A and B are shown apart, each in its own frame.
Chain A
C-alpha cells in the first residue's frame, strides 16, 4: 500500500472516521491499531522487530531512570541491542565483506545471506536511540505506557520515509485529545495535494527519463540532463512524500517535524544540509556530533591541537574529527555499500576544504573587491551549491563508483548519442515538467520571502479556494504518472 495509492487514501478515510468517532481520550488507540494494520500489510511478520525494539527501549528507559550509577552501561547495551537488528538485517553483507577477507587468512569464511528488511527499520532505530538517549540526558521522562511508545515508533504516516521524530515532541500531539478542526483539515488537504503533485506529476515523470538513461547505459551530454532530472526527482519524491504524510498526520491533529526547508535556495552545502532531510541532520548532530565532540578522545585531541601555531588549523582539526563520524554515518545510513559511504564523505571533504581554505578565499574576495552582499553573489553561491548537490545526487544514483567515473568521463563523448525525446518523455512531458518545476519554484520562493501560500489560500473566498482545490486534484489526476499507462515509482527514500 503505497502512500500514493487509492487504497491508502481509503485507509486514511476509514482511520479518520473511526478516530473522530472514538472518545477523545482514547483516540490515539485508533492510530495504534491502524499503524499496526498498515505495518502488517507492508511488512507482515517483520513487525516483530519493531515490537522487540519497543520493548528494549521501554525497559532501558525505565532502568536508566532508576539506576543513575549504571545508566551509561544500560544506555550502551540498549543502543547496541537496538542497532543489532539493523546491523544484521541491513548491513550484514556489508560487514561481512569487511570481515571475510581478514578471517579468510585463517581459513574461515562466513556465508553471505540476504534478509528481508522490515519497513522503516532505519527510521525507527534512530528514533529508539534518540528516545533512550533523551531519557539518559534527562530531556524526557521514560514513558510508562508501552503501547504509547509502540504507537510512536510505528505511527503509520512516518514509518516508511520519516521524518525521524523525537518522542518528546511528537507525543505532545500524538496522544493529545485532538478535536476535528475544519480549518486544519483544509490546510492538511492542500499539503497532501501538493505532495501528490510533487510526487506524481514531477518526480515520477522525471523518473521515467532517469530510469531509462541509467538502465540502458547511455552516455554523453544527456548525462547532464539525467543528473538534473534525478536531482529534481529525488527532491520532489522525498519532499512530496513528507508533504503527504505531514498532511495526513495533520488530519489527526498530529504535527510531524519539518524535514525540508527549500534546500535549493541554500548558499552553501552546510546550509543545504540544514534544509535537506532536516530530521536526519539534527539527529546526527544530537546523537553523533555532540557525543563524539564531548568524548574523551576528542577532548584530548582538542587540548593537543590548541597548542598549534595556526589557530585556523587547530579549529579545523577540532571539528574535522567529530564531523567525520557524522558524514560517515550519514552515508552508511543511506545504504550498505561503499558507494553510500563515499556519498557521505563527498560532502565531508567539500565542507572540510571549505573550512580549510576559508582564509584564502576571504583574502581572494577582499583583493578582487567582490561585494558579497549583492543579489548576484548570492545567486552565484546558490548555483555553486546546486552544482555540488547535483553531483552528489549523481553519486547517489549510480550503481557503483566506477559508473560515476565512466559516465563523468564520457560526458563530452558523441558516440551513441541519442535525442532528448528518446528516453520515454515527449516534448509535452518536458513542458509539464517545466511548468511543474516553475510552480514549485514560485511556491518555494514565496516561502523564502516569508509568504505562506497555504495560509494565504485559506484567507481567500470559498469559490476561489474550491477552484484552486479542484485544480490541484485534477492536475494530479490528469497529469500524474500512475496506473497502467505508466508504473508509478515507489518512493525512493522508502528503501532506507
Chain B
C-alpha cells in the first residue's frame, strides 16, 4: 500500500513538472509579434495589467483603426483624464465582449468607446490574427470560456493549444531567440495601448466612400448576437457605450453609417461618426499611413482632438495630472511626447519629399 502511494506521488510530481515545463515552453515559443521599445500589441494586452487597479476612466476597444487613431496620453496631456486603448488587430465585437470581461477584473471604466468598422464584416478574423491577441491574455476562466465559445470555431486541438501554446508554435524552434527565454519580461505600455505610425500615404479619393446611396447593410447574425451581449455587459457594469466611427475608407461607408445610427437609436447608445466630413474633417493628404485605412501620428492627433472636444463637452471626468497616484503617467507623458515628436518629424520629412518631387 505504502509503495503504491509513493508511486502515485511520483506520478503526480512527474506530470506536474511536465505540465509546468510545457506551459513555460509555450510562453517562450509564442511569437511576440511586432513591438519596439514602447509600443506593440503585446504592450497593449499585457500592459493593462501593469497599471494599478481602477485607474482608468475611459476605455477604447476595437481593431487596428482605433489602435492607431486614439492616443490616451494625448487625452491625459490635455485633460488629465485617464484612458486606455485596448485595441487589437482584426478585433470583432465578440472578441471585445470577452476582452472587456477580462479588463473588468483590473479596471472599472465609466465609458467604453467601441469602433464600428468590423461590425459589418461578413468574414471572421483569421486564426493567426486571433492568436495575436488571445495568446497574450492570461489563462483564466474568462479565457477558457472564450476559447470554448463556438463562435471562434476552434477544434479540440486548437483549444488545447491555447492552454499549451507550444502545441501551436513548436515548429518555430529554429526561430526562437535568446530574449524569448526572458519569460519574466514586463510589457508596461507607455502609450496606454496606442500604436503610433510615422508612415505617410495619402488617400487620393477623399470622402468618396461616404457618398449617399440607397444600399442597405446589416450585421451578420452572430455579430449581432454579441453586439447586444456587449451592450448588456456594459449596462450591467454601469458603463456607458459610445460607438465610434473611425475614418476608414476600406471598412466604412455611407450605408454602414446609416445602419449604425439606427442601431444606436434602438439600443439607446451614442454613435459618434468621425467620418462626417463637415463636422470632423481629416486631411487625407497628410493624416493616413496607408491611403485611408489607418491614421498616422498626425491623423491620430486630429482624431484624438475630436474625442477630447467631445469629452469636454459631455463629461466631467477628474483631472489626474496633479494626482500623486498618477505620477507614473506624468513620466510616461514625457516619453510619449518625445516619441510623438519623432514620428511627426518623420511624417513632415515625407511630406517635404513629396512636395519637392522626390517621391
Contacts and interface: CB of A to CB of B under 8 A. Distances in A.
Contact of B170 (A5, A470, A480): A480
Interface string A470-483: 10011001111111
Interface string A437-480: 00000000000000000000000001000100110011001111
B14 interface: yes
Nearest to B22: A477
B174 A483 contact: no
Nearest to B14: A466
B166 A478 contact: yes
Contacts of B34: none
A428 B4 CA distance: 44
Nearest to B157: A6
Given A182-B7, A470-B17, A470-B21, A479 B173 contact: yes
Contacts of A469: 14
A155 B116 CA distance: 56
Interface of A: 5-7, 182, 426, 428, 462, 466, 469-470, 473-474, 477-486
17 contacts: A7-B156, A182-B3, A182-B7, A462-B10, A466-B14, A469-B14, A474-B25, A477-B22, A477-B170, A478-B25, A478-B170, A481-B171, A482-B167, A483-B168, A484-B168, A485-B171, A485-B172
B25 A5 contact: no
Contacts of B173: 478-479
Interface in B161-190: 161, 166-174
Contact of B18 (A428, A473, A479, A480): A473
A100 B127 CA distance: 51
Interface in B9-58: 10, 14, 17-18, 21-22, 25
Contacts of B127: 484
A470 B18 contact: yes
A477 B156 contact: no
Contacts of A481: 171
Given A470-B18, A477-B22, A486 B160 contact: no
Given A477-B170, A478-B25, A481-B171, 14 more contacts: A6-B157, A7-B156, A182-B4, A469-B14, A470-B18, A474-B25, A478-B166, A479-B170, A479-B173, A483-B170, A484-B127, A484-B158, A484-B168, A485-B168
A493 B4 CA distance: 39
A483 B17 contact: no
Residue from B3, B167, B169, B172 with most neighbouring chain A CB atoms (10 Å): B167
A474 B167 CA distance: 11
A6 B163 CA distance: 13
B25 A477 contact: yes
Contact of B156 (A6, A474, A479, A480): A6
A6 B160 contact: yes
A486 B167 CA distance: 11
Contacts of A7: 156-157
Main secondary structure of the interface of A (DSSP, over half): helix
A462 B17 CA distance: 14
Contacts of A470: 17-18, 21
Contacts of A466: 14, 17
A478 B168 CA distance: 10
Nearest to B166: A477
A426 B175 CA distance: 13
Contacts of A182: 3-4, 7
A483 B161 contact: yes
A485 B31 CA distance: 13
Given A469-B14, A470-B17, A478-B166, A428 B157 contact: no
A483 B157 contact: yes
Contacts of A482: 167, 170
B317 to A, nearest CB: 44
A12 B176 CA distance: 33
A140 B14 CA distance: 43
Nearest to B173: A478
Residue from A469, A477, A479 with most neighbouring chain B CB atoms (10 Å): A477
B171 A5 contact: no
B103 to A, nearest CB: 28
B71 to A, nearest CB: 35
Interface in B118-164: 127, 156-158, 160-161
A483 B14 contact: no
Contacts of A483: 157, 161, 167-168, 170-171
B104 to A, nearest CB: 31
A313 to B, nearest CB: 59
Nearest to A480: B170
A313 B169 CA distance: 63
A480 B169 CA distance: 11
Contacts of B7: 182
B14 A474 contact: no
A466 B10 CA distance: 10
B170 A485 contact: yes
Contacts of A474: 21, 25
A477 B14 contact: no
Residue from A462, A479, A483 with most neighbouring chain B CB atoms (10 Å): A483
Contacts of B22: 477
A462 B7 CA distance: 12
B157 A5 contact: yes
Contacts of B168: 483-485
A428 B127 CA distance: 27
A377 to B, nearest CB: 42
Interface in B44-99: none
Contacts of A486: 171
Given A470-B21, A477-B167, A428 B156 contact: no
A479 B17 CA distance: 20
Residue from B166, B171, B174 with most neighbouring chain A CB atoms (10 Å): B171
Given A182-B7, A484-B168, A428 B174 contact: yes
Contacts of B10: 462
A428 B176 CA distance: 14
Contacts of A5: 157
A104 B78 CA distance: 92
A304 B170 CA distance: 66
A482 B158 CA distance: 12
Contacts of B174: 426, 428
Closest 3 CB pairs of A and B: A485-B171, A182-B7, A478-B170
Contacts of B156: 6-7
A313 B330 CA distance: 101
Nearest to B164: A477
A97 B195 CA distance: 67
Contacts of A462: 10
A312 B160 CA distance: 64
Contacts of A479: 170, 173
Contacts of B158: 484
A35 to B, nearest CB: 21
A483 B160 CA distance: 11
A485 B169 CA distance: 8
Nearest to A473: B18
A462 B174 CA distance: 31
A306 B358 CA distance: 99
A356 to B, nearest CB: 51
B1 to A, nearest CB: 13
Interface string B269-292: 000000000000000000000000
A486 B160 CA distance: 17
Contacts of A480: 170
Contacts of A477: 22, 25, 166-167, 170
A196 to B, nearest CB: 13
